Amino acid sequence: MRLEELELRRISLPLVTPFRTSFGTQVERDALVVAARTDAGVGWGECTALTWPGYSSEWIDGAQEVIRRFLVPLLGGDDLTADRFHRRVAGVVGHPMAKAALELALLDAELRAGGTSLRDRLGGSRDRVEVGVSVGITDTLAELVDLVAGYVDDGYTRVKLKIEPGWDLEPVRAVRERWPELRLQVDANTAYGPGDLDHLAGLDAFDLLLIEQPFPEDDLLTHRALARHIATPVCLDESITSLAVTATAIELGACSVVNIKPGRIGGYLPSAAIHDLCRAAGVAVWCGGMLETGIGRAANLALASLPGFTLPGDISGTARYYHHDVTAPFVVEGGTLPVPTGPGIGVDVDAEALAAATTSVEVLRP
């Protein structure tokens, strides 16, 4: 396959529910959508980097610059495949979200040409996958309970609550008391430190599925200490950056659950390899979300159809995030979403919706 040109398209989609960050409140999703135009056809990808380097060191402007200056020049020739892509760009250190966007676009083009779905290429088998919803920090407990109530009414059977020091035990207690049978988990996004082990042990009272990433990503030893200190399963998110790091975390006993985010790992092929490693080790995995449009959401559903994904993912229906998407909407039914089974990512981009959301377009050639 030969890459003829790569289109980098920035789009802006208003969010249904704005969310607060340390860099301000985000009211829209500034996304980078990638179209790989090859001699075999067109494939679509999406970069999950945010507009600021808060979740990871990557941010969307930086990702676009890395793609432009360092990645695309490596993609010339007639023998390009998604597998070879990773070998070609190995000399560019880091930048997994930029790499994942290109990998997905190449995978989509390659698989569409061959009439194969991404689900089948990765080794998935399910037609529907169980999904959950993530709920951010609110101003009051009453507001939190009202938000969760709306998602329960929408059919979600698993809810994830964001927590931080000063907003943890009481919010979880309020939701658990209202819904005793709801599958509930919490996400700390690295907000705690080694002195918080006893406090976090208080979460054991609420029968949680897991606590996600309480400590900084490079602190596997404190995660191991917490895993030995509490009954609630410890899940790693930001720490899971490669197959080697995942193997180390498992060997240390730093987690019993892993959140796989393809953008954070560098693509869907590396994500499938981490799935295989975790499954062999008896470690549960689930698919995280990064405010993806329908392009990334379709690909995440394909990944989450693999057999080791035994916990509901943060994939969610389209209506959780967007009034209008650039693909047909995904609708939750019975707490599940359908896995696209058509060629490639299995969904088509709505050209009119994409054009309406576009803020800039850049065309590159290798």
For residues 5 and 365, the answer to whether their CB atoms sit within 8 Å is yes
261 is catalytic: yes
d(Cα 147, Cα 302) in Å, to the nearest integer? 28
Task: Give me the catalytic one of 119, 162, 223, 297.
Answer: 162
In terms of C-beta density within 10 A (0-12 exposed, 13-18 middle, 19 or more buried), how is residue 166 classed?
Answer: exposed
162 is known as an active-site residue? yes
Give pLDDT, residue 26.
Answer: 83
By the 8 A CB rule, do 132 and 160 touch? yes
Choosing from 261, 264, 275, 320, the catalytic residue is 261
**pLDDT higher than 90, residue 12:** yes
For 174-191, how does the pLDDT look when each residue is reduced to its tens digit (9 = 90+)? 999 999 999 999 999 999
Amino acid found at 109: A
The 10s digit of each residue's pLDDT in 56-113 is 999 999 999 999 999 999 999 999 999 999 999 999 999 999 999 999 999 999 999 9
All structural domains of the chain, each given as residue ranges with its CATH number in brackets, are 3-114+348-364 (3.30.390.10), 120-338 (3.20.20.120)
pTM over 0.85: yes
Residue pointed to by tokens 């609630």? 232
Distance of alpha carbon 118 from alpha carbon 300, whole angstroms: 10
Encode pLDDT of 288-338 as tens digits.
999 999 999 999 999 999 999 999 999 999 999 999 999 999 999 999 999
Which two structure tokens, joined as six digits, stand for 128?
Answer: 């529907």
